[in-house]
Structure formats: C-alpha cells, structure tokens
A and B are shown apart, each in its own frame.
Chain A
Amino acid sequence: MEYTLFIVLLPFLSFLFLGLVGKRLTPRAAGYIGTVVLAISTCLSYITAWHYFTTAKVDGVFEKLTPLNFTWLNFTEKLHIDLGILLDPIAVMMLVVITTVSLMVHLYSVGYMHGERGFQRYYAFLSLFTFSMLGLVVATNIFQMYIFWELVGASSYLLIGFDYAHPEAVAASKKAFIVTRFADLGFLVGILILSFYTGTFDFERLTSGDASLFAGMEGLSFMGCSVVSWALALIFMGGAGKSAMFPLHVWLPDAMEGPTPVSALIHAATMVVAGVYLVARLFPVYYLQAPDVLVLVAIVGAVTSLYAAIVACVQTDIKRVLAFSTISQIGFMMVGLGVSGMEGREGLGYMASMFHLFTHAMFKALLFLGAGAIIHAVHSNEMEHMGGLRKYLPITHITFLVACLAIAGIPPFSGFFSKDEILAATFHFNPALGAVMSLTAGLTAFYMFRLYYRIFWNKASHRDHAPREAPGSMTVPLTFLAAATLVAGFIPFGKFVTSDSAEYIIHLDWTVAAASVAVALIAIGIATLFYRRESPIPDRLASSLRGLHAAASRRFYLDDLYLFVTKKIIFNGISKPVAWFDRHVVDGAMNGFATLSQRVSYSIRGFQSGQVQQYVMVILLGVLLIAVLALFI
C-alpha cells in the first residue's frame, strides 16, 4: 500500500507549487489546482480505506501496517526519528475524515474566498495544513507526530492570520500559536521522559502492551506521581492544547477571526481533534501504565465540555457559538476515551469517542460552512444582524438544521448514535459523570437551537439589500456534508474502529438513549420558546442571573486571567526587569570596569608633577621599598 505516500505527499507538492509560483497563476487556476490535487488525495484515501478494511483483517483483528518507514534523524543508538506511514483503523479513518472535509473546504473556498487578496496563498496554506494533518495521523512514531503537530500549529497560525491586515486576526493567530506552543512544551517534555525510559518513539512498540519497555520507569516517582504518569499527563497536556481543553482552550474562540472555511477545516473537524487522536493513539499505554491519567482525561473532558456549553449559551457571534460548541464536543470525545476500557465491551468509550470524532467532523464542518454561507450573505458574524434568513437561504437553512439536529443528538442523525454511545460508556463508568454529560448534551441542544432560531427565524434585522444564496461551489459541499451527516450514524463503526482492533457490535443502550433524546427535546423546546420569536424571557432570565450571565459572557474571566499572566507577569513582571537588569547591572558592571580604569587614571595624574626632584624622590623611595621588601620579607 505504498501509494498511501501520495495521499500525504500530494498536498505538500501542491503547497510548494502554489507557494513558489502561485503569484504567477490566476486565482482561479490556483484554486483549481489545489482542489484537484486534493481530490486525488481524497480518492486515494478512500481506496486506502476500502483496501485496508477489506484486506488487513487477520484473525478478526485489524493489523497495523507500515508501508513506509525510513530514518530521518539519529539521536542515540536507540532513539531515532523515523518518517513513515502507519495504517491502522483510526489512522485510516482520520485519512478519510481529513481528506473529505479538506476537499469540501477547498471546493467551498473557491466560492467563499472569491476575489480575496492572496487567494493563491490561501490555497497554498490549505494544502500545507492538509499535508501536515495527514502526516500527523499516519505518524509511525511519537516524534513524527510531534513534527507534524508543530507543522499543523504553524499552518493553523498562517491560516488564522490569513487576513494579516486585520489586527484582530493577527492577535488571534498569535494567541493560538503561543497557547498551543505552551501545551506542546508539555508534549515535548512528555516525549522526552517517555522515550528516555522506554528507549523508543515507535508507536507499535509502545502500544504493543509489552510491559518490559516500561520497566525502567518502575518505582520512579516525582511529586507523588509515578514518572510514567507524569510523562503521559504531559503528553496529554499537548493534546489538550491542540484540542482546546480547559484551561488551554482560550485560543480557539479567538481563532474564529480566520476565514470561515478555515475554521471549518481546522477548528472543527481536523486539527482540534488531534489531541483526541493522540490520546487514542497512545490509548494502550494510558490504559495499561497510567489509568490515573485516563481519569484525568475524563475529568478534563467533562469540565471542558460543561464549561464550553455554558459559555456557548450566551455568545452572540455565531462563529463563537460554534467554537464553544466544538470545544464542548471535543470534551465529549475526551470523556469517551477517559472512561473507556481496553478489551471487548469495555472498549465502548474508545469506539464511541472515535465514532463521535467521525460524525462530529462531518456535522461541525457543515455547521461552519453553513455559518460561512450566512456570513457571506449578511456580511456579519453577529446574531443581531441576522434573523428570518430561512426565506433567503433555503439550502443553507435545511443543511444547517440537519447539522443542528445531529449535534443535538436527535435520531436518526449521526450525532445521536455517537453521542449516545459516549453517554452510555460514561454512565457505565460513573453515573455522576454521566449525569453531567447528559446535562451538557441538553445544553448543547439548547444553544444550537438558540443559534438556529436566531439566525433563521426570529425578527429580521434591517438590511439594505436582500441576502442571496451562496453559489454552487459553496452549496455543493453543504449538501454533501448534510447527506453524510444523515447517513454516517448508520455506519457499523464498531466493525472498523475499536480499542483492541477486534470487532465490536454496537448495542444501543435504550434507557440512556431515551433519556438523552428526551433531554435534547426538552432543551430544543425551551430554545423554541425563547428564540423562535422575539421574546422577553431570555433577557429577563439574563438579568435575574446577572452574575452568571456576565461571567459566562466573559468566558468566566479566563481570558482576563491569561491576559494578566502574560501582560502583567511575564511582560512587565519578568521581561522588563530582566531587560533592565541586563542593561544596567550586567552591562553596567562591564561599563563599570571601563569607568573605573578611567577614574583611576584621572586620580593618579598628580603623580606626574613635572618636578624633576619629585621624580628622583620616587626613584629613591622605590629603591628603599624594594630593599625593604627584598631584605626583610
């Protein structure tokens, strides 16, 4: 299956081509080149998926295939970075997801970005991102993953800051990069620890369940936790950063300053699930070596999920709502992984999490692209500038509704199936946690429909001209993704992707399913009541819960805290004193030597008095001094 190389390589070539000669091409040509190349890549990954899932099963278990692997850099005798391609169920699934969403976004962008300055550059960056993301998922070892992890971060930085004349976009891209970079520091240190003791970066060896690899770490602990837990927790920190887990999520809402298709690609479907993918990739290690870290993963996931859902309820920028919704949904996936076991039915959470990742990618991309179509039509992100759009944007409206229903967890839309499995696994793990997640699911339904109603129903705001439906290049992806959202739930996902690579038959847990559907319906009902028409209830509610509302609007002051830490503590509290210290103390000392010599030089000028008698006197005293020293000491 060596041809999988081209899945990864083609976008890179497209990046190089567009990056180097893009300026000479017309925007249209550049867009087509990017899209066509990606289409080839997508086809290849579909072929790969078909090929893999039909042939790679040995004894009921999907094998890990490594069609390509070569040494890229040697560190020590044991440690070396390889670059290669590892195919296993999750990797193949990710290939499909990424290429699909990316292709949709490429296609969509032809219409959405039409006439933008730097169109060619935009496509170059998209290709770069796709390349990095694909490289990340097929990584054969943790360091290759880290390499592409960083590349993904950089291309995300470039894409968020695509409109570089726009200060908010620049600030957002910077924030995104630095926050994730900070998380990556944890990832890096985690890799350092893990690789030092296990002597390998290789995923296959790490996840083979071979306990002897970890023998070196046994008994070592630091601050009360075992070293392996530290390593895995730090690696998870990297994942949490990319996946916008609380409290490292602050960059994602701001990242909405980027072009909307970019948000769909990066901040909904692909990059943000990299953290989930990372945990899933190392799942056997987590499960076998540090179950305590898995609990941490679950808790972080739950907290994030709830927090983001609450904040999403009060946002007024539609992309922000979607951003928080993304954070919340990724929280679900993390919880799924955190509560999962390894073997057989225990592995429900893992399977569900991956399933949710898959379905979420489709419907969240759909939501973002839909939001893009809306913004394209009304030239604003704010809900108050919308309302009553259903008449003007029929296709967008229908597809958006499909996505909303999916994310709210209404059967038979795909979100229902995946989310329900996560809830089931969570209840199985810990009912309290399950309750929290159910509540979150309810909130999800509420804020999504709040969004839906305020965009498409409610009172129309004043407009100069009637909004128009988006062109075909934009509606085709919408339709395609809506269709995918409709059918994805019926894919027998457990056949393909499970924690132990063996087949898993999905059984719906009807109690959980019924409860969650009920909760979702109630939430939708409330949203309908509040927002279908203009209603005083939300405002009244907001004023009665003023504190909570204000806090939620300010995202519980987390951003302010970050701002305080960076501006006040790091910038003013550390950097400025350090710079001052350098100029005045360290450099001052160096200058001090010079000044001192000058001073001494001036202070002894009197000795050279010009009097010959004094000179003789000095000679004589010199002789006496030497004599005293030589004879008596």
Chain B
Amino acid sequence: MNFLSLFVLVPVLMMVGLFLSKNLTQIRAVAVTGASLLLALAVGLVFAYLGERAAGNTSEMLFAADHVWYAPLNIHYSVGVDGISVAMLLLSAIIVFTGVFASWKMEFLEKEFFLWFCLLSTGVFGFFISLDLFTMFMYYEIALIPMYLLIGVWGSGRKEYSAMKLTLMLMAGSALLLLGILGIYYLSGATSMNLLEIARTGVPAASQNWLFPLVFVGFGVLGALFPFHTWSPDGHASAPTAVSMLHAGVLMKLGGYGCFRVAIYLMPQAANELAWIFIILTGVSVVYGAYSAIVQTDLKYINAYSSVSHCGLVLFAILMLNQTAMNGAILQMLSHGLMTALFFALIGMIYGRTHTRDIRQMQGLMKIMPFLGVCYVIAGLASLGLPGLSGFVAEMTIFIGAFIHQDAFHRVFTIIACTSIVITAVYILRVVGKILYGPAADHQHIDAGDARWYERTSTIVLILAIAGIGLAPLWISDMISDSLLPIVQNINL
C-alpha cells in the first residue's frame, strides 16, 4: 500500500481507537499517539520528498498510486504529492498535533470531540493527497461537516447560529464546486477524473469561462473570499480552541489550495481572462478585513477578520498567475495557518483564564501570564510580517510576484494590498497594547496561572515552525517553487 494513504488511515484508526477507549487517559493516549504519528509521517514525507527530488525524480507527482474505484464514472482513488501538497500536509500535521494538546482539557464529551476532530483531519489529509477530482471533493466535504457539531456542541456564544451559518455557506460553496467539477470532467472529455489527466486534455475555452467562476467561488467561500467570508468571524468566534485552530489553520487553506489546484490549473485560459474580477474582490478582502479588524473588540473577531485579510492575500497572489506570486501564496497559506493557529490557541488559553475575550476587559496580562503574553507578541509580530518569522517571507514573495505585472490595474491593487501591512500593524499592536500591557487590573485575572505543560507544548511547536520557516525559508520555498512550474507552464501556454 502506498504510504500516502497512511495519512488517511491513521486518523481513521484513531477514530476506531477512540471509539474503543474507555476513559480520558486512553482517549488522550490515542489522540496524542495518532497525532504524533501523523506529524512524524509528515516530517518523514518532507525528507522522502526532498530525497526523491535530489535523486533526480522529476515527475510531477511523487509517490503516486492509482486504483480504480468507480469504473463507470472513471473515478479513481489516486494519490500523489508534489511540493505544494507536502507543504500543506506538514502544516496540517503540525496543527493537528498542536490542536490535540490545545484541547487537552475538554469539559465534556471528550471522546466525541476527538472523534469529530479525527474525522475532520481525515478529510483534510485526504484532500491534500488526492489527485482525483471526486475524492478531492469527497474529502473536502468530509472536512466540512464535522465543523457543525464541533462548533455547535463544544462552542460558545451564539454557537448554533454560527455553526449553521458556517455549514450552510460552506456547503453552498461546495454545491457550486460540485457543479464545476462535474462540468470540468464532462466537458474536458477526459477519460478519468484525475487532475493531471484533465490538465492534459484541457477544458474547452468557452466552458472555462463559466466553470472557472463556479470553482473559484466554490473554493473561495472556504478561502474567505469577499463577500462570502461572513461565516468566518462568527464561526471562529463560536468555535472551541482546537477547532478554530484547525479551521483557520488548515481548513481555510483547503480553499486556497483548491482554487489553485483545480480552478487555475485546469482552467488556465479563463484564469487569465477572468482573474481581474477576482483580483478586485480579493484586493478588497485584504484591506477590508484589515480595516474591519481595527475596530473589533472580541479577540477572536479580530483574528477572524485578520484571517480574512491574510487569506485574501493568498487568493490575490494565486490570481497573479506567476510562479513567484503563487509561491508566495502557498507560503502565505503555511504561514497564516501556523500563526493563526497559534493565535487561536493563545486566545483559547487566555479565555480559559480570564473568561472573557473582550479586549476592553483585559489589561496587563503580560504580568500575570508572561509565557502566554510573550507567545502572543510573537504571534502578533509574525502576523504583521516581522522578518525572521514566516509572515514576512510569504508576504514579500507575494508582493514581488504581484509586482511582475506591469499594467496599472495590477500595480494599483498590489500597492493597495501592500498597505495592509500597515493596517495589520495597527490592529495587532492595538490588541497587544490593550490586553497584555498596562497594569494588571482585574483580581480574578491576577489569580490565573500561566500556561500548563500541554499548552506550552502546543504553542512552542507552533512558534518553532513559524520561526523555522521565517529563518530558513529557502528549502521550503524552492520545494514549492519547483512544483509550481508545471502549473505555470499550463497557464502560459
């Protein structure tokens, strides 16, 4: 069996294990073992991948395997990875790992929580290893639906409303997507739903013009494309910590990855023709999210809007349709995934101690919980693009890439997108100043302790990853960049 399938199998086995486990200790043991295994797998995959490439293997997808599943519709179970999927798998594994630790202390229904959590992971990992449109879509939906219960049962605030809104909007997106996928398959006349195969056959240009928006918007809903992003603030605000992490950290990346893997890769002509519409939308997203974040008072809302802005940048960069910008987009996905997960983890931990997320009610937390405070500052600095942390690498690559277009339209939007780095600084520093700094006021907060070991594990792993990418970006950037080549060539044909 192909070892990529382990990425799906491990979470499934985890689910079985969870189902059988009897007490909290066993549940935790299963979760930690599984998550560590996944992380080890992902790291191993990175080395294996780089090794193969170094050994001169130049095929587009490595470790590919293919089994016919539904022969009548030419649906195959086919897996394979290129540098981009490897990067995304690594991201997912890190976030699943840290998510387990971040949800160490659940208050009720632990088993069910982890069951859904594993199902979500299954979907996420499956999505990234899939090469077949059908399985890709299937995993995509598998990843979406557990959100409903995870938010609805374990969430807080207006959880039912948020969960419902999130699920319905994302499902509406996936409805468009399904039509798009079917259209692509039937109109391309390909003999299988395999991505590479369809890319080779090509979709007729006339059909691309209506399929492209369908697919792009379909994935874009999950990628928080303006104006379909409104599920995100409410959803994140209501979700429990680990779910916010996984959702903002990985699930939203499914959107970006899909946009680029399906919409751009398979429909290059339409991408060239219609990119301008979406550049306007994403350009708006970037600035709009940032401005909205400035006035929010709920920590999670701030971060959610910040995600709108950052994910907008991802889609924006993808639409620039050149290697550098796309490379930046993938890096931004990684970077945003890690730092937003860190943010949500920290917010969850702070909330667990202060029982409020309203920044007006918190002050001087740095004194009370220095570890969390420092981590929050690091996350903030990463988010506003400090060199040495991952955000900088991604943003700079995007801007350089976006600037390759010479016409006024692209230039203007690139510069508009650039301004987000200032606005980001404004809202990040505002929050940091309000909640961490100043004298510690609330007695209830003063009694709260600093991070526990499992919380430390979770944050430290994330910070290490952020700093790792930020300090030594070359290997991952080159890995992604090489894999982008076939896609870019497809666009420029």
Contact, CB under 8 Å: B429 / A73: no
Contact, CB under 8 Å: B169 / A590: yes
Stretch from B27-35, B45-53, B63-71, B416-424 forming part of the interface with A: B416-424
- Cβ distance A397 to chain B, nearest Cβ, rounded Å: 36
Inter-chain CA distance A76–B405, complex, in Å, is 13
Contact, CB under 8 Å: B418 / A185: yes
Contact, CB under 8 Å: B400 / A76: yes
Contact, CB under 8 Å: B473 / A589: no
What 6 new A-B contacts, CB under 8 Å, besides A154-B386, A164-B437, A590-B231?
A72-B474, A150-B385, A570-B426, A571-B294, A575-B291, A579-B295
- Which one, B227, B228, B288, B478, contacts A74 given CB within 8 A? B478
Inter-chain contacts of A185 with B (CB < 8 A)? 418-419, 421-422
Inter-chain CA distance A289–B428, complex, in Å, is 38
Closest to A147 in B: B387
- Cβ distance B134 to chain A, nearest Cβ, rounded Å: 28
- Which one, B386, B388, B397, B418, contacts A73 given CB within 8 A? B397
Using CB atoms and an 8 Å cutoff, list the residues of chain A in contact with chain B: 71-76, 79, 81, 143, 146-148, 150-151, 154, 157, 161, 164-165, 167, 170-171, 174, 177-178, 181-182, 184-185, 188-189, 192-193, 195-196, 570-571, 574-576, 578-579, 582, 586-587, 589-591, 594
Contact, CB under 8 Å: A165 / B400: no
Q: List 14 A-B contacts (CB under 8 A).
A: A76-B400, A76-B401, A76-B404, A81-B396, A150-B387, A188-B421, A189-B415, A192-B399, A575-B291, A575-B292, A579-B295, A586-B229, A587-B234, A594-B168
Closest to A185 in B: B422
Most chain B CB atoms below 10 A, which of A150, A570, A582 = A582
Q: 6 nearest interchain CB pairs?
A: A587-B230, A147-B387, A164-B437, A575-B294, A170-B437, A578-B291
With A174-B430, A575-B295 as given contacts, are A165 and B381 in contact (CB-CB < 8 Å)? no
With A174-B429, A182-B422, A586-B230 as given contacts, are A150 and B392 in contact (CB-CB < 8 Å)? yes
Contact, CB under 8 Å: B323 / A76: yes
Inter-chain contacts of B168 with A (CB < 8 A)? 594
Most chain A CB atoms below 10 A, which of B227, B367, B401, B425 = B425
Inter-chain CA distance A71–B474, complex, in Å, is 8
Inter-chain contacts of A590 with B (CB < 8 A)? 165, 169, 228, 230-231
With A150-B386, A165-B437, A170-B437 as given contacts, are A75 and B474 in contact (CB-CB < 8 Å)? no
Contact, CB under 8 Å: B477 / A576: no
Contact, CB under 8 Å: A582 / B230: yes
- Enumerate B217-233 residues with CB–CB distance to A below 8 Å: 226-231, 233
Closest to B228 in A: A590
Contact, CB under 8 Å: B474 / A178: no
Contact, CB under 8 Å: A178 / B422: yes
- Cβ distance B435 to chain A, nearest Cβ, rounded Å: 11
Inter-chain contacts of B381 with A (CB < 8 A)? 154
Inter-chain contacts of A79 with B (CB < 8 A)? 324, 400
Inter-chain CA distance A574–B324, complex, in Å, is 32
- Enumerate B267-324 residues with CB–CB distance to A below 8 Å: 288, 291-292, 294-296, 323-324
Inter-chain CA distance A40–B418, complex, in Å, is 40
Query: Is B163 part of the contact surface with A, judged by Cβ < 8 Å?
Result: no
Inter-chain CA distance A617–B415, complex, in Å, is 65
Using CB atoms and an 8 Å cutoff, list the residues of chain B in contact with chain A: 165, 168-169, 226-231, 233-234, 288, 291-292, 294-296, 323-324, 364, 366-367, 381, 384-388, 392-393, 396-397, 399-401, 403-404, 414-415, 418-419, 421-422, 425-426, 429-430, 433, 436-440, 473-474, 477-478, 481
Inter-chain contacts of B367 with A (CB < 8 A)? 165
- Cβ distance B235 to chain A, nearest Cβ, rounded Å: 12
With A75-B324, A167-B438, A189-B418 as given contacts, are A174 and B404 in contact (CB-CB < 8 Å)? no
- Cβ distance B58 to chain A, nearest Cβ, rounded Å: 18
- Cβ distance B467 to chain A, nearest Cβ, rounded Å: 11
Contact, CB under 8 Å: A164 / B397: no
- Which one, A74, A157, A174, contacts B477 given CB within 8 A? A74
Contact, CB under 8 Å: A73 / B473: yes
Contact, CB under 8 Å: B438 / A165: yes
Contact, CB under 8 Å: B425 / A181: yes
> How many A-B pairs with Cβ below 8 Å?
131
With A177-B429, A189-B415 as given contacts, are A75 and B292 in contact (CB-CB < 8 Å)? no
Closest to B397 in A: A75
- Cβ distance B196 to chain A, nearest Cβ, rounded Å: 26
- Cβ distance B398 to chain A, nearest Cβ, rounded Å: 10
- Cβ distance B437 to chain A, nearest Cβ, rounded Å: 4
- Which one, B294, B386, B418, contacts A570 given CB within 8 A? B294
Closest to A23 in B: B370
Contact, CB under 8 Å: B433 / A170: yes
Closest to B168 in A: A594
Closest to B427 in A: A575
- Which one, A164, A182, A184, A195, contacts B400 given CB within 8 A? A195
- Which one, A151, A181, A196, A594, contacts B403 given CB within 8 A? A196
Inter-chain CA distance A212–B259, complex, in Å, is 40
Inter-chain contacts of A170 with B (CB < 8 A)? 433, 437-438
Inter-chain CA distance A71–B415, complex, in Å, is 26
With A76-B323, A178-B429, A181-B422 as given contacts, are A161 and B437 in contact (CB-CB < 8 Å)? yes
- Cβ distance A119 to chain B, nearest Cβ, rounded Å: 14
- Cβ distance B365 to chain A, nearest Cβ, rounded Å: 10
- Which one, A148, A171, A570, A579, contacts B292 given CB within 8 A? A579
Inter-chain CA distance A148–B386, complex, in Å, is 9
Inter-chain CA distance A76–B366, complex, in Å, is 42
- Which one, A143, A164, A589, contacts B366 given CB within 8 A? A164
Inter-chain contacts of B418 with A (CB < 8 A)? 185, 188-189, 192
- Which one, A178, A570, A578, A589, contacts B425 given CB within 8 A? A178
Inter-chain CA distance A148–B231, complex, in Å, is 38
Inter-chain contacts of B392 with A (CB < 8 A)? 147, 150
Closest to A19 in B: B374
Contact, CB under 8 Å: A181 / B294: no
Inter-chain contacts of B430 with A (CB < 8 A)? 174
Inter-chain contacts of A193 with B (CB < 8 A)? 403
- Cβ distance A20 to chain B, nearest Cβ, rounded Å: 11
With A171-B433, A570-B294 as given contacts, are A181 and B400 in contact (CB-CB < 8 Å)? no
Inter-chain CA distance A76–B426, complex, in Å, is 31
Inter-chain contacts of B229 with A (CB < 8 A)? 586
- Cβ distance B264 to chain A, nearest Cβ, rounded Å: 19
- Which one, B295, B400, B433, B481, contacts A174 given CB within 8 A? B433
Inter-chain contacts of B425 with A (CB < 8 A)? 177-178, 181
Inter-chain CA distance A494–B437, complex, in Å, is 48
Inter-chain contacts of B400 with A (CB < 8 A)? 75-76, 79, 192, 195
Most chain A CB atoms below 10 A, which of B288, B292, B473 = B292
Inter-chain contacts of A182 with B (CB < 8 A)? 422
Inter-chain CA distance A582–B169, complex, in Å, is 16
- Cβ distance B393 to chain A, nearest Cβ, rounded Å: 6
- Cβ distance B117 to chain A, nearest Cβ, rounded Å: 27
Inter-chain CA distance A311–B242, complex, in Å, is 53
- Cβ distance A81 to chain B, nearest Cβ, rounded Å: 8
Inter-chain CA distance A189–B418, complex, in Å, is 8
Inter-chain contacts of B292 with A (CB < 8 A)? 575, 578-579, 582
Inter-chain contacts of A579 with B (CB < 8 A)? 291-292, 294-296
- Cβ distance A19 to chain B, nearest Cβ, rounded Å: 9
Closest to A587 in B: B230
Inter-chain CA distance A579–B296, complex, in Å, is 8
Closest to A151 in B: B387
Inter-chain contacts of A150 with B (CB < 8 A)? 385-387, 392
Closest to B433 in A: A170
- Cβ distance A562 to chain B, nearest Cβ, rounded Å: 13
Most chain A CB atoms below 10 A, which of B393, B422, B478 = B422
Contact, CB under 8 Å: B404 / A196: yes
Most chain B CB atoms below 10 A, which of A75, A167, A570 = A75
- Which one, A151, A164, A195, A575, contacts B436 given CB within 8 A? A164
Inter-chain CA distance A178–B433, complex, in Å, is 13
Inter-chain contacts of B437 with A (CB < 8 A)? 161, 164-165, 167, 170
